[in-house]
Amino acid sequence: MRRVCFLLKVRADRLDEYRRAHDEVWPEMLEALSRHGWTNYSLFLRDDGLLIGYVETPDWDAALAGMADEPVNARWQSEMKDYFESLEGVNPDEAMRPLDEVFHLA
């Protein structure tokens, strides 16, 4: 199992809306994530907009590729992209870059 952590930046003026959007993630989105190997998926949001994502998956590239083929993901990413800063013309899921893991206490 690979542990993946990534950072994104939520716009300061959209923090409350972003939190509310995750109060009830669409059931079909949750099912697609599970089907493509996204487990222990968590998002943490700091008051300045720093978003830390964490997920465990057997294969990060396969997890991303599987979601890229899901129509529900395209709809979700379209809804989410305006919440973020500095996406440089890509959807949020395309901007996720795993951080290097330097320590893990099992």
Which residues belong to the active site?
22
The CB-side HSE value for 63 (13 A sphere, CA atoms) comes to 20
The CB-side HSE value for 77 (13 A sphere, CA atoms) comes to 18
**Amino acid letter at 98?**
P
Coil vs helix vs strand at 26:
coil
CA distance 86 to 34: 28
Tokens linked to 91? 């959807």
